[in-house]
Structure 1
């Protein structure tokens, strides 16, 4: 089951954004990682079998404040 996770992450500088993207991209099952939102403060993750809670906790340890905004299933078209 493919799923989409949108997380709000505190990323005040470019170094923080790079670190957050590396942490998410290294997680197992991740197919796509992208920045979205007005201030590029949200991470959109698409993948198969991703544990959202583990990923959020890992981001909190390595980057800073993180919260899950939405979690949903990707609809096949």
Structure 2
């Protein structure tokens, strides 16, 4: 079961971002790491990742780290296959008759 861990950290400089990525990537069981600079959070996805030890190691190197959320990764929903709709024509087909007009009226 993959889990997603969101940890709030202080990302004041590029050096802090690099350290946070390196620490999170080296943790056991991590398969994906991303940083949201605007929210100042590190998102870690992996199997069997210890969130507490990861937060402690981030706090040791960066000065501040707190766990925001730990949860299971949600799989995207598969789109339901579209059921084709059969349209019936409301137009009644009339038989065609051949009409020959040779220019003279036989009235």
- Helix, strand or coil at the partner of 1:28: coil
Structure ID, larger Rg: 2
Q: Given the two structures, how large is their TM-score scaled by the length of structure 1?
A: 0.91
Partner residue of 2:14? 14
Relative to total residues, which structure has the larger helix share, 1 or 2?
1
Partner of 1:51: 50
CA RMSD of aligned residues (A): 1.3
Report how many residues are paired: 76
Query: What TM-score, normalized to structure 2?
Result: 0.66
Unaligned runs of 5+ in 2: 77-107
1:40, 1:33 → 2: CA distance?
A: 15
Other-structure match for 2:63? 64
Q: Which runs of 4+ in 1 moved over 3 A?
A: none
Unaligned runs of 5+ in 1: none
